[in-house]
């Protein structure tokens, strides 16, 4: 899916949150978005998802102008958005069900998808009985199980609440799922290493009002493995990313109190 | 569970207190009839009382059931969009605070002292309580649930059916309040015209200062209401097995059966 954001701006009353954001993604591209806290990344994702309206500018997907929420885009939030009253399997099946898949077919699909990420034994657990990492994994499977057409995946700090080890593991699972069924991903994160490790391309945003200040293409071939995390190449990229973010930051004297 | 035994203990304590006060003749027999006399009244009047109990219980439960359905419908509509909210909020919120008992004369004027009039009264009162409860419960569901359902392709009605309504079940305390209310209004409505009912029994007994029968009718209403409440609680609990154990459960005050 080709996403095109052109001249997107958003302000709440007199507060400008986003100012003239433009970028495009290619089909099945994994794009990470990094930027200082409060630069409007979440607002931008909400506008793309159709939960909020832009003040000006437009969002289009494969040439279609988007205005309201639809099942061609799927958001994963920082907090768990699993349905608490449904078991793991029922949560996974929810999207398939509303695509009109028969119950037998979707059950098979859900079970094999859960087995593939090691959640097979937790089929009948309710979300509150799962650990935070498992819950995130279920949510990711619930999103990536949807194919033909695969919805645009919008992730807002999706792994933000996980510990470092679980996070690394989950990143690997996401890469695997993404390679098995490629789709366009917008991946908002604070974690620069995560951005370098997961993405094909990184978009750097400025402090509020947010706009695109730089783009970085990540050259590492896939599949990437954890050796890459500590490699010099990745650390050099991470350093560059950090410098780009730092350069965009206003001087201490100019900054208004947060 | 300990909590249950405390309940038995409280009941026994109250019973002993009642026996003691009436046995020691601290008050005239008329003011507080002894348990023995109340049982005696049951012995004499039991064929009537069985019928009266069934009539009152049926009326209250029927009114409560109809009121719950009405309240569910109103609550869902109020949360559906601002237009419905605008229409209904003012009606529900003005009917709810007016004591239903105050409307009894009108009900009788319009419909006569009929079952329909009584049921209408109970249904409207319960409906307003449940409507507010359902509306508040729906509108305070985590917005991420709504967004996730939208993203996953659920229609508006599927969102309600499969996500919002099941999620609010553990918080529907309004059902219990409405059930208790239905008994209160049933008895009041029966005073005004249902001769063969517990309310009617109290009115008949009042004329002859037959306080033990009045006491008996009160006790029966209490038992019916308590049984209804326990039933509702157990149904809600069964439908809430997915819910995170609450703070109360941690202190052992609320029994919850969980899968693991």
Q: What is the pLDDT of residues B5-24, one digit of tens each?
A: 888 999 999 999 998 988 88
The pLDDT tens digits of the residues spanning A202-248 come to 999 998 888 999 999 998 998 998 889 889 999 999 999 999 888 77
Q: What is the pLDDT of residue B258?
A: 42
pLDDT digits (tens, 9 = 90+) for B78-124: 999 999 998 998 888 888 888 888 888 888 889 888 899 999 999 99
Q: ω before A149 within 30° of 0 (cis)?
A: yes
Q: Has residue A249 got a pLDDT over 80?
A: no
Instruction: Tell whether A51 lies on the interface with B, counting CB pairs under 8 A.
Output: yes
Instruction: Give pLDDT, residue A254.
Output: 55
* Mutate: best of B144, B145, B146, B151, partner A, most A CBs <10 A: B151
Tell me the shortest Cα–Cα distance from A165 to chain B, in angstroms: 26
pLDDT of residue B259: 37
Q: Which of B148, B159, B236, B243 to mutate to test the interface with A (most CBs of A within 10 A)?
A: B148
CB atoms under 10 Å from CB of B258, counted, come to 13
User: How confident is residue B70, by pLDDT bands cut at 50, 70 and 90?
Assistant: very high
For residue A22, name the pLDDT band (cuts at 50, 70, 90). very high
Segment A1-15 shows an average pLDDT of 90
pLDDT category of residue B1 using cuts at 50, 70 and 90: low
> What is the length of chain A?
258
CB A81 within 8 Å of CB A139:
yes
Tell me what pLDDT residue A13 has: 87
- pLDDT for the residue B241: 86
Closest to B256 in 3D by CA, of B226, B173, B239, A125: B239
CB contact under 8 A, A128 and B243: yes
Chain B residue numbers with beta carbons less than 8 Å from the beta carbon of A151 are 151
Q: Please judge whether A71 and B152 are an interchain contact, meaning their C-beta atoms are less than 8 angstroms apart.
A: yes
Residue A183 forms contact with B (CB below 8 Å): no
B205-216 per-position pLDDT tens digit: 999 999 999 999
The CATH H-level (homologous superfamily) assignment of domain B40-139+170-250 is MetI-like (1.10.3720.10)
A41-95 pLDDT, tens digit each: 999 999 999 999 999 999 999 989 988 888 899 999 999 999 999 999 999 999 9
Tell me, what's the pLDDT at A68? 86
Give the Cα separation of B15 and B38 in Å (integer).
13
Residue A173 is predicted with a pLDDT of 94
The confidence score (pLDDT) of residue B253 equals 54
Rounded to a whole number of angstroms, the distance from the CA of B144 to the nearest CA of chain A is: 6
Q: For residue B4, is pLDDT > 80?
A: no
d(CA A153, CA A198): 14
Nearest by CB: B153 against A71, A85, A86: A71
| pLDDT at site A5 | 93
B145 neighbourhood in chain A, CB within 8 Å: 81, 83
- What residues of A are in contact with residue B163 (Cβ under 8 Å)? 83
Q: Do B158 and A98 make contact, defined as CB atoms within 8 angstroms? A: yes
SS3 annotation, A210-248: ECEEEEEECCCCCCCCHHHHCCHHHHHHHHHHHHHHHHH
Q: Which residue reads 């909400």 in tokens?
A: A46
Q: Which string of b and e fits B225-248 if b means at least 16 CB within 10 Å? A: beebbeebeeebbeebebbeeeee
Q: Give chain B positions within 8 Å (CB) of A153.
A: none
| Chosen from A61, A83, A149 to mutate, greatest number of chain B CBs within 10 A | A83
Would you state the pLDDT for residue B120?
A: 92
SS3 A17: strand
pLDDT at B174 over 90: yes
% residues pLDDT > 70 (chain B):
93
Query: pTM to 2 decimals?
Result: 0.87
**Residue B251: pLDDT band with limits 50, 70, 90:** low
Closest CA to A110 of A132, A129, A86: A86
Q: Chain A partners of B166 at a C-beta cutoff of 8 Å? A: 85
| Residue contact A71–B260, C-beta within 8 A | no
> pLDDT, tens digit, for every residue of B29-43?
888 888 888 999 999
Residue B260 in this model has a pLDDT that exceeds 50:
no
For residues B211 and B31, the answer to whether their CB atoms sit within 8 Å is yes
pLDDT in tens, A84-141: 999 999 999 999 999 999 999 999 999 999 999 999 999 999 999 999 999 999 999 9
């Amino acid at each position: 899916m080709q996403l095109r954001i052109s001249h997107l701006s958003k302000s709440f009353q007199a507060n400008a949150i986003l100012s003239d954001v433009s970028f495009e993604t290619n089909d099945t591209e994994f794009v990470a978005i990094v930027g200082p806290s409060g630069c409007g990344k979440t607002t931008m994702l909400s506008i793309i998802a159709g939960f909020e309206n832009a003040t000006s500018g437009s969002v289009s997907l494969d040439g279609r102008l988007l205005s309201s929420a639809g099942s061609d885009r799927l958001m994963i939030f920082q907090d768990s958005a699993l349905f608490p009253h449904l078991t793991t399997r029922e949560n996974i099946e929810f999207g398939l069900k509303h695509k009109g898949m028969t119950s037998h077919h979707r059950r098979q699909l859900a079970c094999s998808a859960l087995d593939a990420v090691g959640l097979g034994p937790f089929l009948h657990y309710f979300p509150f009985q799962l650990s935070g990492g498992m819950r995130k994994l279920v949510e990711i499977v619930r999103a990536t199980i949807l194919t033909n057409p695969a919805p645009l995946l919008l992730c807002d700090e999706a792994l933000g609440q996980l510990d470092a080890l679980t996070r690394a593991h989950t990143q690997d699972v996401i890469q695997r799922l993404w390679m098995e069924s490629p789709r366009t991903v917008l991946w908002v994160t604070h974690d620069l290493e995560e951005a370098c490790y997961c993405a094909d391309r990184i978009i750097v945003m400025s402090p509020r009002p947010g706009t695109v200040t730089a783009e970085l293409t990540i050259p590492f071939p896939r599949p990437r493995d954890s050796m890459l995390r500590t490699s010099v190449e990745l650390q050099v990229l991470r350093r560059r990313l950090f410098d780009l973010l730092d350069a965009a930051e206003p001087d201490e004297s100019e900054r208004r109190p947060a | 569970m300990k909590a249950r035994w405390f309940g038995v203990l409280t009941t026994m304590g109250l019973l002993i207190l009642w026996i003691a006060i009436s046995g020691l003749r601290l008050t005239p027999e008329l003011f507080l009839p002894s348990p023995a006399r109340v049982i005696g009244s049951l012995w004499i009047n039991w064929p009537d009382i069985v019928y009266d109990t069934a009539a009152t219980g049926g009326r209250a439960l029927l009114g409560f059931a109809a009121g719950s359905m009405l309240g569910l419908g109103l609550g869902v509509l109020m949360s559906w969009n601002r237009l419905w909210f605008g229409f209904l909020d003012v009606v529900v919120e003005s009917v709810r605070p007016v004591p239903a008992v105050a409307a009894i004369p009108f009900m009788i004027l319009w419909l006569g002292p009929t079952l329909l009039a009584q049921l209408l009264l109970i249904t409207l009162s319960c409906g307003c309580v449940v409507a507010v409860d359902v509306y508040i419960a729906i509108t305070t569901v985590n917005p991420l649930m709504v967004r996730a359902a939208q993203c996953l392709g659920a229609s508006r009605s599927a969102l309600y059916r499969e996500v919002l309504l099941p999620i609010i079940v553990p918080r529907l305390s309004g059902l219990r309040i409405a059930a208790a209310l239905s008994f209160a209004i049933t008895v009041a409505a029966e005073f005004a015209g249902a001769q063969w009912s517990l309310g009617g029994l109290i009115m008949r007994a009042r004329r002859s200062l037959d306080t033990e029968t009045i006491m008996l009718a009160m006790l029966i209403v209490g038992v019916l209401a308590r049984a209804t409440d326990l039933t509702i609680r157990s149904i809600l609990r069964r439908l809430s097995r997915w819910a995170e154990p609450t703070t109360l459960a941690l202190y052992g005050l609320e029994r919850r059966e969980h899968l693991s």
